[in-house]
Amino acid sequence: MGQKRTAPIGEWVKTAIILFVLFIFIRTFFFSSYEVEGDSMRPTLESGNKLVVNKIGYRLGEIKRFDVIIFHRKKEDYVKRVIGLPGDKITYADDHLFINGNRYREEYLDEYERPILGQKLTGDFTLEELTSAETVPEGELFVMGDNRLVSLDSRHFGFVPIDKVVGRVDVKYWPLDEFNLDM
């Protein structure tokens, strides 16, 4: 007669430890969860939204214009949209974005009525007026929040070093009715 063999408690503990270490490894090097604080990315992201951030994808591929990223600045993490890449010349005029002389439509801002209470959503500026640089320097990004009237972004604190980027926002998973895989 065959006997059922049960795994000793030590095997269960060893399996649990391996799974825990694997979880920590994946969370540390590949993906992380963040919660949005503040209104600087409205309407795309709202305070309390929970996000999955891909920490490795941007290292394997390039950061693209209009990606939503998380980056370190001082002692905090910020979530903003990439507007300018290294070498870009950026101008805003009459609520229109121009990069290297070409006009770009920012579809993610369509929810805002233009003009809002008689003012522009994004004030007119050139990159040189804000930063004294004609183009975005190598190894840096120019970022802006979608809620341009309240966002603290590159217009205020300058360029973001690419090495300070934590990762690209890939998924908004909370609240569930706003689940979005296409950030």
Token pair for residue 120? 């522009």
40 is catalytic: yes
Stated length of the chain: 183
Q: Which of 55, 80, 151, 172 is catalytic?
A: 80
- Does residue 4 have an active-site annotation? no
From the list 40, 55, 151, 172, the catalytic residue is 40
Residues 7 and 15: beta-carbon distance below 8 Å: no
Based on DSSP, count helices (H) and strands (E) in the chain, helices before strands: 4, 11
Full DSSP string of 42-100: TTTS-TT-EEEEESSHHHHS---TT-EEEEEETTEEEEEEEEE-TT--EEEETTEEEET
CA dist 134 and 122 (Å) reads 19
Is 77 in contact with 64 (CB distance < 8 Å)? Answer: no
| Close Cβ partners of 166 (under 8 Å, ≥ 6 residues apart) | 32, 53, 55, 69, 70, 71, 72, 77
Enumerate the active-site residues: 40, 80
